[in-house]
C-alpha cells in the first residue's frame, strides 16, 4: 500500500504537469501574437535596422529567461517551497475531493509522518490505509481539470489562424517584412511616392538681378513643396513654400539677388504613418557677381552765413536733405569697387563727380527742392543699380513775427505826447530793421496833406531771435495839434541775405491828440454814467433793505423758515452780492476816470486829489464787514438757525444802510466836485487857448508880404481853431455857472455875467476876424486883430481865475461856517453837560430831581444826536470830518447813556462821573472840529486833505531818519556794542513809525479820507524790517525794504496814483498776440526755454508769497525739463 506521501507526490506530479501544459499553450499564443505584430509593424513603418535588431534580441532574451525560470520553479516545488504545490495544499484539495472533510488527507499524512509517538499504531495505520485506499481510487483528472489549457489552446490557434490569414492577404508586404526581419542588420530603403528635380539647376547672376527657381516632380504631385535658400554668408536660411503652376512645375522668382545661395526643394510626409519622411531634391547653387555700391556716403549742408547755423553733415541713411536756400551741398562717397566715372543727378541735370579710385566727390548750391541721385560706373563698366534718390528740400526762412504789447490800438496822446512801445519780435535767424511807419492826418477842415514818414527803432542785438523791444516814441517833434491823428504801424525785417530781407507789418494803430474839449466831454460822460449808476445802486440797496425789513417781519411771525422765505432770502443775498460786485466795478470806473484826468493833466492838483478821495470813498463803500455779514447770513441760512438769521439780517441791514449813506455821501461830494470840475475845465481850456493864441500871435506878428501863402493859410486855420475853441469855452462857462449855482450863487452869477460880457463877445469876434483877415492875406489887419484877441483872452483868463478864487474862498468860508455851527453846538452841549454834572454832584441823594435829571440827560443826548446828524451832513460835503470827531461824539453818547442808567438807579455820584466823561468826550470832539476847521481854512481847501499830507510828511521824515542812521550799519563803521545799541534804537524808532502809520491808515480809512495809494504794502515791509532789527541783522534786503517804505510814503504824498517803488501784482495790459508762424524755433536756440523763463519771471514778479513762488518755480522747472525730453522726438529738423 502506497503511503500517503506517495499519493501526495503523485498528486503533485499531476498538478505540475497540468500547469505546464497550460503554460505551454499560453506561451505559444504570446509568441504568435508577437510574430504577427512585428510583421505588421515592419510592413507599415519600415523599421530601421537598429529597432529590428533590438526587438529580436529582446524576444530571444525573454525565451531564455522563461526556460531558466521553469527549472528554478521545479526545484522550488521539490522543496515544497511553492505553496500552490505544498503538501498541505494538495492534501486538502484531495481531501476535499475524495472525503467528506477536507482535512482528512492532511491528518492522515500527519499521522503517517508521526507514526511512533503517542498514538496507536494500528489505528493510525488503519486510518492511513483507509485513506490511502481511497486516495488510490481517486481520479486525478477530476482534481486537476485541463480546462485552462484547453482555453489557451483555442486562443493560440485562433491567433495562428488570424495571423496566417493576414499574412496571406498582405503577402507582398508581409513577405517583404519577414525578409527584413530575417535580415535585421540590413537597412532597407523606404519606397517614396515621388521625386523632385531642379530645372533651373545651378544659376549665375549680376548683383541685383532676379532669377526664377523651378522644380519638377515625377510621381504624385504634392500640393506644394518647400524651397530652401541658404545664403553663402551662412546667414539664416530662407524657407519658401512654392505651389505648382499650370505646367505642374514649382517655380519661385527670386528678385534682386546680391549674394550667393545654395538652394533645394523638399516635400515632407503628410502623415505619421508614412514610412518616408521627406522627398528632397538635390542641392543647387546661385552665384552672384557684384555691382559697384557706395560703402561710405555723406552729404554736407553748409548754411548761408547770415543764418549762423552750423554745418550739417548727414549720412547716407537719410534720404531727406534739408537746408536753407543758398546752402552749399557737398557729397563725398566711397564705392566698393574702383570707379570709372560718376554723376550727381539733380532732377535731369547731371553734375560730374570727381573720381579718385574708389572715392568720388562733388557739390552744388542748394536753391530749390530737387531729387538727387548718384550714378556710378566701375572700371568693369558695371553701373550701380537703382541709385537711392535723395530728396533735397529747401527749409524756409520764415517771416519775422511781431506782437504789439503796447500801445493799444487807439490811444489818446497825453500832454507829454509820448507813446510807450512794447513789442515782442521773433525770427528764426535774426533781424535787420525795426521801424514805425507813420502818417500824420490833420483834421479834415485843415485840408492839409498827410505826412508819411518812418521812425526807426534800434534793436540792440539783432541776432537775439526772440526779444522784447521797449522804447518810447516821442511825438513832440512832430508838432501835433489837437485833433491830429497819427496812423502808424510797426515793421520788422529779418536778415535774409539770400532772398532779401522779409518783413512783417503790424496792423495800423492810431494815436490821437485829443482836443481838451473832447477830453472833458468824454470824462463828463463817464462821470454822468457813474452818477447814474450810483443812483441806481442806491435805489437797489434801498429796495433790498425793504426786502430785508419785510423778511424780518415775516420771520417774527413764525419760528421757522418756509421754503419761499428761504428762497427769498437767498435771492436777496444774491442781490446784495450783485450790488457789491457792481460797486466794485464802479470803483474801477472811477479809477479809469482818474487815470484819464491825470494823463491829460485835465484838472488842478487840488481837484485831482479830490477825485482820488472820491475814488477811495467808492472803495470804502464796500466795507469788509458787509462781506463778512453776507457770509454770516449765508451760514445762518444753511444752519436754519432763526436767531442767527435774524442777527445776520440785522447786521446786513445795518451795513447796507451804511452803504446807502456812503453812496449818498459820495453823490453829494461828487456833485460839488463836478461843479469845481466844470470851473476848472473852463480855466484849463482858457489857459490853453491863451497859450495857443500867444504862439499864433507871435507867428502872425512875424508875417510880411514875402511870407509863403501856405504859412498864412496854416495860421489862418490855427486861428480858426482858436476861435472855435473860444466858442466852446463859452458853452462850458455857461454849464459851469449852472453847476456852481447850487454852491455859490455869487460866483455862478459872476461867471454867467462874464460869459455874456462885452469883452467875451468882442474876443470871439476878434478871433474870427483874425482868421478871416489871414484868409484874405490882409496881414496888417490880421496882426492887429490877433494882438487884440490875445489881450482880450488874457483879460478873460485873469477874470476867470478871479472867479475861481472867489468860488474857492466862498466854499471854504461856507464850509468853515458849517464847522463853526457844529463846534458852537458841541460847546454849548459840553457846557450843558458840565452844568448837569455839577447839578447832579451837588444834588441831595434823595432829591426827587435826581430822576428828573435823567430826563435832562436825555435832552442833552437828543441834542447830541442832532449834532451828529449835522456832522454827517457835513461829511457829505467835505473830507475834513475826521474820525476823532466821530469818536468823541460816540464816546459822549455812550457816557450819556451810562449817566442816564445811573440816574435811574439813583446813583448820583456815578452819574456825575459819567456826565463828566461825556463832557470830556464832547470837548475832544470840539477840539477835533476846531483843528479840522483851522487846517481847512489855513490851507484854503475845503477838502481837508492837507491834514493827511502833513501827518504823512512827518512820518516819512522819521522814516528818512531811520534809513539814514541805518546806513551806518550798512557801512560797518561801528563797533559791535555801538551797533547793538544803534540797532535797539532803530528798532524802537521803526516801531513808532509803524504805530503812527497804522494809526494814520486806520483813521483815514474810517474817515473816507482815503488816498493811501500804495501805503497798503508798507505794513508788510515794516514788519520785515522790524524782524531784521530784532534779529540784530542789517542786510542789503533790509536796506531795500527801508527804501521801499520811504518811497511809498513819499509817493503817497506826491501822487496817489503813482505806483511808487512797489511792483507787486503789477497789472500787465492784456493784448491779443497774434501768432502766425511755426510753433517754435529749433531747440538749439532755446526759444521755448526762454519763453518759459520769461513766464516764470513774470510770475515771480507778480507778488505772490514765498510758498507760491517756490511752487511756481517748481512748475516751470518741470515744464522746461519736459520740453527738453519731448522736443528731440518730434523735431528732426537738425538731425
Partner 1 sequence: MNKAIIIISCSILFAQITVVPQGRNLIQNALLMERKGDLERARTLYEDMLRENPRNRQAYQRLKEILKRTGELESAAQLVEVWINLNHNDLQAYIELGEIVFLKDDKKRAAKIWHDFETTYGTHTSIYRMLVHTFSRLGLTEEMEGLVKRGRSKLGQKDILALDLANYYYSRQTYDRALDEYLIYIIEHPHQEKLVTDRVLLMSDDPENHLLIEKKLVSALENNHVIIDKLLAGYYFKTSRYNEALSTHRSMGLHNNADFKRWLLIAGNLRKESQYDLSIEAYQELLDLELELPPKIIGEALLGLGKTYEDQLLPKTLNNSLVSFYPDNLFFKNEFLQISPRSRESLERTFKLYQRVLQELPASSFSPKAHFRLGEIQFKITRDFDGARTSYLSALASRPDKNLRQNILLRIGETFIAEGNLKAARNHFKLQHRTEKNTSISPFTMKEIHLTFLTGTIDTAKTVLDSVIVNALPNDKYFNDLMELQDIIAQHYTFGSETDKEALVQYSIAERLLQQYKLVEAAEMLAFIRENYPDVSILPIVMLRECLLRLLLEDVSISLNIAQLLQETPFAPQGITIQGEINEQFYGDIDKAMKFYNNLLESYPMSMLAEPVRMHMRQLKNVVES
DSSP code per residue over 67-113: HHHHHHHHHHHHTT-SGGG-HHHHHHHHHHHHSSSTTHHHHHHHHHH
Closest distance of CB 849 from partner 1, Å: 7
In angstroms, what is the minimal distance from the CB of 771 to partner 1? Answer: 46
Q: Which is nearer to partner 1, 596 or 847 (CB)?
A: 847
Q: How far is the CB of 728 from partner 1 (least distance, A)?
A: 38
The binding site for partner 1 (CB under 8 A) comprises: 816-817, 820-821, 823-825, 827-832, 834-835, 842-849, 851, 859, 862-863, 866-867, 869-870, 905-907, 916-917, 919-924, 926-927, 930, 933-934, 937-938
Smaller CB separation from partner 1, 131 or 928? 928
Q: Which is nearer to partner 1, 825 or 1051 (CB)?
A: 825
| 213/636 with CB nearer partner 1 | 636
| Least Cβ distance, residue 888 to partner 1 (angstroms) | 8
CB within 8 A of 1043, min separation 6: which ones?
963, 1061
User: Least CB distance from residue 895 to partner 1, whole Å?
Assistant: 11
Closer by beta carbon to partner 1, 576 or else 867: 867
Nearer to partner 1, 200 or 835 (CB): 835
User: Minimum Å distance from CB 610 to partner 1?
Assistant: 22
Tell me the closest approach of the beta carbon of residue 975 to partner 1, in angstroms. Answer: 42
Q: Are strands 466-474 and 418-426 parallel, antiparallel or unpaired?
A: antiparallel
DSSP string, 457-499: ---S-TT-SEEEEEEEEE-GGGT--TT-EEEEEEEEEE--SSS
Q: How far is the CB of 981 from partner 1 (least distance, A)?
A: 33
φ/ψ (deg, to 5) at 821: -60, -45
CA distance 593 to 598: 8
- The length of the chain in residues reads 1135
- Distance in Å, CB of 1092 to partner 1, minimum: 41
Closer residue to partner 1 (CB): 397 or 837: 837
What b-and-e string marks burial along 774-790, b requiring 16 or more CB atoms within 10 Å of the CB? bbeeebeebbbbbbbbb
Cβ proximity to partner 1, 327 vs 913, nearer residue: 913
Helix (H) or strand (E) holding 433: strand 431-441
For partner 1, give the closer residue by CB, 723 or 916: 916
Q: Which is nearer to partner 1, 355 or 843 (CB)?
A: 843
What angle, 0 to 180 degrees and rounded to 10, lies between the N-to-C axes of helices 87-98 and 121-136?
70
Q: Is the dihedral of CA 805, 950, 878, 582 positive or negative?
A: positive
Retrieve residue 765's grid coordinates.
469876434
Comparing CB distances to partner 1, the nearer of 574 and 851 is 851
Closer Cβ to partner 1, 142 or 845, answer by number: 845
47 vs 892 by CB, closer to partner 1? 892
How far, in Å, CA of 975 to CA of 978, rounded? Answer: 5
Cα separation, 802 vs 804, in Å, equals 5
Residue 48, number of CB atoms within 10 A of its CB: 12
Checking 827-835 for CB contacts under 8 A at 24+ apart, the result is 827/926, 829/860, 829/863, 829/864, 829/867, 829/922, 830/919, 830/922, 830/923, 830/926, 832/860, 832/863, 833/860, 833/892, 833/896, 833/915, 833/918, 833/919, 833/922, 834/916, 834/919
CA gap 76, 837 in Å, rounded? 152
Q: Which is nearer to partner 1, 779 or 903 (CB)?
A: 903
CB of 834 to partner 1, least distance (A): 6
**CA geometry: angle 358, 359, 360, nearest 5 deg:** 130
Residues 6+ apart with CB under 8 A from 849: 839, 843
3-class SS at 880?
Answer: coil
Task: Select from 36, 277, 257 the least CA-distant residue to 163.
Answer: 36
- Smallest gap from Cβ 841 to partner 1, in A, equals 12
Pull the grid cell for residue 886: 466821530
Closer residue to partner 1 in complex, CB, 589/863: 863
Is the distance from CB of 335 to CB of 356 less than 8 angstroms? no
Q: How far is CA 852 from the centre of its chain?
A: 76
Instruction: Report d(CA 610, CA 1009) in Å as an integer.
Output: 9
Nearest distance from residue 536's CB to partner 1, in Å?
29
Handedness of CA 301, 305, 306, 309 (dihedral sign): positive
What's the closest the beta carbon of residue 662 comes to partner 1, in angstroms?
21
Residue 24 burial class via C-beta count within 10 angstroms: exposed 0-12, middle 13-18, buried 19 and up:
middle
The distance of closest approach from Cβ of residue 924 to partner 1 in the complex, given in angstroms and rounded to an integer, is: 5
> Min. distance of Cβ 832 from partner 1 in angstroms?
8
Amino acid at each position: 500500500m502506497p503511503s500517503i506521501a506517495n499519493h501526495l507526490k503523485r498528486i503533485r506530479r499531476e498538478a505540475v504537469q497540468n500547469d505546464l501544459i497550460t503554460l505551454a499553450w499560453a506561451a505559444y499564443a504570446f509568441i504568435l501574437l508577437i510574430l504577427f505584430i512585428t510583421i505588421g509593424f515592419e510592413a507599415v513603418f519600415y523599421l530601421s535596422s537598429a529597432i529590428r535588431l533590438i526587438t529580436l534580441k529582446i524576444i530571444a532574451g525573454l525565451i531564455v529567461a522563461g526556460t531558466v525560470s521553469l527549472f528554478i520553479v521545479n526545484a522550488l516545488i521539490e522543496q515544497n517551497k511553492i505553496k500552490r504545490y505544498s503538501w498541505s495544499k494538495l492534501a486538502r484539495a484531495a481531501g476535499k475531493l475524495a472525503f467528506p472533510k477536507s482535512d482528512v488527507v492532511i491528518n492522515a499524512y500527519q499521522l503517517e509522518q508521526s507514526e511512533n509517538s503517542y498514538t496507536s499504531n494500528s489505528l493510525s495505520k488503519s486510518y492511513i490505509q483507509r485513506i490511502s485506499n481511497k486516495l488510490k481510487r481517486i481520479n486525478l483528472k477530476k482534481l486537476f481539470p485541463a480546462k485552462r489549457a484547453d482555453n489557451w489552446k483555442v486562443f493560440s490557434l485562433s491567433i495562428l489562424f488570424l495571423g496566417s490569414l493576414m499574412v496571406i492577404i498582405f503577402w507582398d508586404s508581409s513577405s517583404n517584412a519577414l525578409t527584413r526581419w530575417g535580415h535585421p542588420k540590413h537597412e532597407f530603403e523606404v519606397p517614396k511616392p515621388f521625386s523632385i528635380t531642379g530645372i533651373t539647376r545651378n544659376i549665375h547672376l549680376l548683383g541685383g538681378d532676379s532669377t526664377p527657381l523651378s522644380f519638377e516632380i515625377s510621381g504624385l504631385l504634392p500640393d506644394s513643396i518647400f524651397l530652401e535658400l541658404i545664403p553663402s554668408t551662412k546667414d539664416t536660411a530662407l524657407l519658401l513654400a512654392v505651389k505648382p503652376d499650370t505646367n505642374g512645375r514649382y517655380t519661385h522668382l527670386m528678385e534682386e539677388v546680391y549674394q550667393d545661395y545654395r538652394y533645394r526643394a523638399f516635400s515632407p510626409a503628410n502623415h505619421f504613418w508614412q514610412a518616408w519622411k521627406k522627398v528632397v531634391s538635390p542641392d543647387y547653387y546661385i552665384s552672384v557677381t557684384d555691382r559697384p555700391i557706395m560703402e561710405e556716403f555723406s552729404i554736407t549742408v553748409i548754411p548761408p552765413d547770415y543764418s549762423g547755423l552750423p554745418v550739417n553733415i548727414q549720412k547716407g541713411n537719410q534720404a531727406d536733405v534739408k537746408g536753407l536756400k543758398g546752402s552749399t551741398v557737398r557729397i563725398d562717397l566711397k564705392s566698393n569697387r574702383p570707379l570709372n566715372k560718376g554723376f550727381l543727378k539733380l532732377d535731369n541735370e547731371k553734375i560730374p563727380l570727381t573720381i579718385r579710385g574708389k572715392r568720388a566727390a562733388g557739390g552744388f548750391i542748394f536753391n530749390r527742392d530737387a531729387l538727387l541721385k548718384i550714378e556710378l560706373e566701375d572700371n568693369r563698366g558695371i553701373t550701380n543699380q537703382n541709385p537711392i534718390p535723395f530728396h533735397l528740400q529747401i527749409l524756409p526762412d520764415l517771416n519775422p513775427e511781431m506782437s504789439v504789447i503796447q500801445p493799444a490800438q487807439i490811444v489818446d496822446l497825453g500832454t507829454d505826447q509820448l507813446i510807450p512801445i512794447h513789442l515782442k519780435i521773433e525770427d528764426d535767424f535774426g533781424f535787420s530793421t525795426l521801424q514805425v511807419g507813420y502818417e500824420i492826418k490833420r483834421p479834415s477842415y485843415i485840408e492839409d496833406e498827410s505826412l508819411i514818414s518812418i521812425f526807426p527803432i534800434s534793436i540792440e542785438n539783432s541776432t537775439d531771435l526772440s526779444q522784447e523791444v521797449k522804447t518810447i516814441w516821442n511825438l513832440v517833434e512832430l508838432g501835433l495839434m489837437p485833433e491830429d491823428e497819427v496812423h502808424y504801424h510797426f515793421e520788422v525785417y529779418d536778415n535774409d541775405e539770400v532772398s532779401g530781407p522779409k518783413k512783417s507789418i503790424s496792423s495800423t494803430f492810431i494815436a490821437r491828440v485829443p482836443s481838451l474839449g473832447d477830453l472833458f466831454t468824454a470824462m463828463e460822460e463817464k462821470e454822468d454814467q457813474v452818477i447814474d449808476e450810483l443812483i441806481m445802486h442806491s435805489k437797489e440797496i434801498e429796495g433790498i433793505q425793504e426786502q430785508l425789513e419785510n423778511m424780518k417781519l415775516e420771520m417774527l411771525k413764525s419760528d421757522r423758515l418756509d421754503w419761499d422765505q428761504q428762497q427769498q432770502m437767498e435771492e436777496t443775498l444774491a442781490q446784495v452780492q450783485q450790488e457789491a460786485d457792481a460797486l466794485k466795478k464802479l470803483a474801477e470806473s472811477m479809477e479809469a476816470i482818474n487815470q484819464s484826468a491825470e494823463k491829460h493833466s485835465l484838472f488842478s492838483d487840488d481837484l485831482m486829489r479830490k477825485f482820488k478821495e472820491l475814488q477811495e470813498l467808492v472803495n470804502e463803500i464796500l466795507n469788509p464787514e458787509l462781506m463778512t455779514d453776507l457770509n454770516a447770513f449765508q451760514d445762518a441760512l444753511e444752519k436754519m438757525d432763526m436767531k442767527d438769521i435774524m442777527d445776520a439780517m440785522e447786521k446786513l441791514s445795518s451795513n447796507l444802510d451804511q452803504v446807502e449813506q456812503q453812496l449818498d455821501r459820495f453823490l453829494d461830494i461828487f456833485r460839488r466836485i463836478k461843479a469845481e470840475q466844470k470851473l476848472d475845465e473852463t480855466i484849463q481850456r482858457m489857459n490853453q487857448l491863451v497859450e495857443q493864441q500867444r504862439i499864433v500871435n507871435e507867428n502872425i506878428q512875424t508875417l510880411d508880404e514875402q511870407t509863403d501863402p501856405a504859412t498864412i493859410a496854416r495860421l489862418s486855420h490855427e486861428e480858426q481853431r482858436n476861435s472855435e475853441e473860444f466858442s466852446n469855452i463859452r458853452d462850458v462857462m455857461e454849464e459851469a455857472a449852472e453847476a456852481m449855482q447850487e454852491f455859490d450863487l455869487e460866483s455862478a452869477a459872476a461867471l454867467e455875467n462874464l460869459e455874456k460880457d462885452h469883452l467875451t463877445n468882442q474876443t470871439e469876434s476878434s478871433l474870427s476876424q483874425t482868421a478871416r483877415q489871414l484868409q484874405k492875406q490882409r496881414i496888417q489887419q490880421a496882426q492887429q486883430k490877433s494882438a487884440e484877441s490875445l489881450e482880450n483872452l488874457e483879460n478873460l483868463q485873469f477874470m476867470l481865475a478871479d472867479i475861481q478864487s472867489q468860488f474857492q474862498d466862498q466854499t471854504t468860508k461856507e464850509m468853515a461856517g458849517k464847522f463853526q455851527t457844529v463846534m458852537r453846538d458841541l460847546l454849548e452841549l459840553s457846557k450843558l453837560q458840565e452844568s448837569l454834572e455839577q447839578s447832579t454832584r451837588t444834588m441831595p441823594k434823595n432829591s426827587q430831581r435826581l430822576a428828573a435829571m435823567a430826563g435832562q440827560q436825555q435832552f442833552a443826548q437828543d441834542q447830541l444826536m442832532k449834532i451828529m446828524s449835522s456832522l454827517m451832513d457835513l461829511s457829505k460835503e467835505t473830507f475834513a470830518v475826521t474820525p476823532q470827531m466821530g469818536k468823541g461824539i460816540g464816546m459822549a453818547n455812550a457816557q450819556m447813556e451810562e449817566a442816564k442808567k445811573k440816574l435811574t438807579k439813583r446813583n448820583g455820584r456815578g452819574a456825575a462821573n459819567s456826565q463828566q466823561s461825556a463832557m470830556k468826550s464832547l470837548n475832544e470832539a470840539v477840539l477835533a472840529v476846531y483843528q479840522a476847521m483851522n487846517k481847512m481854512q489855513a490851507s484854503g481847501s475845503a477838502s481837508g486833505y492837507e491834514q493827511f499830507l502833513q501827518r504823512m510828511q512827518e512820518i516819512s521824515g522819521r522814516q528818512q531818519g531811520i534809513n539814514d542812521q541805518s546806513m551806518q550799519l550798512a557801512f560797518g563803521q561801528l563797533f559791535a556794542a555801538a551797533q547793538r545799541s544803534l540797532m535797539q534804537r532803530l528798532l524802537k524808532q521803526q516801531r513808532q513809525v509803524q504805530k503812527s502809520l497804522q494809526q494814520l491808515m486806520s483813521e483815514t480809512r474810517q474817515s473816507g479820507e482815503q488816498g493811501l495809494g500804495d501805503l497798503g504794502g508798507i505794513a508788510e515791509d515794516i514788519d520785515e524790517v522790524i524782524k531784521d532789527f530784532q534779529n540784530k541783522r542789517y542786510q542789503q534786503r533790509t536796506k531795500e525794504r527801508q527804501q521801499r517804505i520811504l518811497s511809498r510814503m513819499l509817493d503817497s504824498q506826491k501822487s496817489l496814483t503813482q505806483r511808487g517803488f512797489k511792483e507787486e501784482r503789477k497789472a500787465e495790459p492784456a493784448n491779443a498776440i497774434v501768432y502766425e508762424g511755426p510753433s517754435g524755433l529749433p531747440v538749439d536756440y532755446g526759444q521755448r526755454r526762454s519763453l518759459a523763463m520769461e513766464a516764470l519771471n513774470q510770475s515771480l514778479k507778480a507778488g505772490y508769497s514765498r510758498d507760491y513762488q517756490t511752487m511756481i518755480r517748481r512748475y516751470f522747472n518741470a515744464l522746461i525739463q519736459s520740453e527738453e525730453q519731448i522736443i528731440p522726438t518730434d523735431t528732426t529738423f537738425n538731425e
